[in-house]
Every structure is written in structure tokens, then in C-alpha cells.
Amino acid sequence: MNATKSSRQAGFSFIEILVVMGIISVLVSMVVVLIPSIQEKSRQTKSKDNVRTMITLMIGRRAEKVSGGWPRYSGKNFVLSLVATNQLDRRNKTNLEVLFSPGDTVYTMEDVDADRYKDVTKAALKNDTDFHELTSYAGRRNSSADRDHVITPDDEKRGVMIICDDDDGALHHPDGIVAGYTNGSVQFLEWEDLDLPPPEDTRNPEPFLGDDSEHEELQHMWGSN
């Protein structure tokens, strides 16, 4: 009799097993939800750091009055002016990594032929040479050919967007875009911040930059050449 009681006390009842299984299921569900969320926050943070680095370099060069103003190129050539002016050392692949968003699955540093950066010169950028695969980031339309979008002193004073995620291929971030401004600030803008509906297809979204954009600030941005 005592042996039977001892055996029952040593084992688990069916209900206890169900409770343990339920707890395990909840924990697994939390991990499945939390890990992607943490990874996405990490990608956003890294991308913001990239954009902040690039804008800081541009502001520094402008303050030194080396280039006579913001880069006079449009789209990705605006961003790649950092290479043409040797603010980013094209010989150092690590330095060039800031040109790529960690959320970009289309354009990555690993897939680029580093020798292509040798062709990124002021003359090539001025001639609108297509270097779209050399960066993940769109730039301000600031060339003489895009006069309606050129950065004015008033624009600079209030802080206007000059670098953001491109709209070529899958979204870098499903909930919004990373954007940097002339005043040095960098933000992650959710679609509702831009008064835009989230793209229905994150893998192949409708273009959200350029003349057809529903957001005025994004009309000044261009992701291709």
C-alpha cells in the first residue's frame, strides 16, 4: 500500500503534463515572435548608424566649404558622392559597408565587385552613370537637371530629407524606412508617420519615391539613376 502511494507521488499526473506542455508552447511562441522583432530592431539601428555616418561626413565636408554645397547629383549618385570625394575610402571594403542597409536583400556588399567603385568619379556622377547596385540608399534629387528638388537655404534651415532607403526590390524594413536630414538627424519613419498605407507586398512593393509618391518629402528622393 505504501509502495503504491509512493509511486503515485513520484510521477506526474496527466493534468500536470498538460500544464507543462502548455507553458512550453507559450514560451516557444514568445521566442518565435520576439526573435524576429529583435533582429528587425537591430537592422533598423544599424541602418540608422549607416545613414548618420554618411550625413555626418557630408555635413563635415560642407562645413569645410570643400565642395561648395550639398552634392550636386541625384538619387544614388548623391549618396555615392562620398566615394567620389574620397570621404569613403574605396580601397577599404569595411568603410564601404555603410553604403548598404542590413535589411536589403537585393543589393549587398558581398555581391558587389569592389573594383566597380574605381569608376565612381565626380565626372561619372555628373554624367548620371548608373551605379544603382553600389548602394542601398536613395538620395536627394539635387542636380541641375532636377531644379525643382534642389536644396535651398530655407530647406537646409528647416532640415530636409537627403538620404533614405531605396524602393528597388523588397522593402528593407516592413514597417517603414530609415531617413536622414540636412540637420544631421536620422529617424525610422513608420508608414503612418508618412501618412502612407503599408505596401501590400513587402517583397515587391510599389515604388514610394519620386514624382508619383503620395508624400511630398519622398517626391524629392530617388533610388535609381
Q: Tens digit of pLDDT per residue, the chain (225 long)?
A: 455 455 455 567 878 888 888 888 877 776 667 788 889 999 999 999 999 999 999 998 877 665 568 999 999 999 999 999 999 999 888 899 999 999 999 999 999 999 999 999 999 999 999 999 999 999 999 998 999 999 999 998 899 999 999 999 999 999 999 999 999 999 999 999 999 999 999 999 999 999 999 999 999 999 875
Question: Residue 137 in 3-state DSSP?
Answer: strand
Q: Is residue 16 part of a domain?
A: no
Phi-psi label, residue 210: left if phi above 0, alpha if psi -120 to 50, beta otherwise: left
* Assigned domain for 41 exists: no
Burial classification of residue 129, based on how many CB atoms lie within 10 Å of its CB (0-12 exposed, 13-18 middle, 19 or more buried): middle
Residue 68, pLDDT score: 62
Write the burial class of residue 88 (CB in 10 Å: 0-12 exposed, 13-18 middle, 19+ buried): buried
Q: Whole domain around residue 199: which residue ranges? A: 46-222
Residue 98 lies in a domain: yes
Q: In what order do the strands lie in the sheet with 221-222?
A: 186-190, 176-181, 161-165, 137-140, 221-222
- How many other C-beta atoms lie within 10 A of the C-beta of residue 62? 16
Q: Is the residue at 38 inside a domain?
A: no
Q: How many residues are recorded in the chain?
A: 225
Within-domain flag for 95: yes
For residue 62, the model assigns a pLDDT of 79
The predicted structure's pLDDT at residue 225: 58
**Domain for residue 62, yes or no?**
yes
* pLDDT given for residue 207 in this prediction: 92
- How confident is the model at residue 188, as a pLDDT? 98
Task: Flag whether 14 is in a domain.
Answer: no
For residue 132 the three cell numbers come to 544603382
Q: Tell me how far CA of residue 82 lies from CA of 14, 27, 71, 85, 86, in angstroms.
A: 66, 46, 9, 5, 6
Element (H, E) at 161: strand 161-165
Check residue 216 and give left, alpha or beta (phi > 0: left; psi -120 to 50: alpha). alpha
3-state helix vs strand vs coil in the chain, percent to 5: 50, 10, 40
Its pTM stands at 0.84
Q: Is residue 157 part of a domain?
A: yes
Structural domain count of the chain: 1
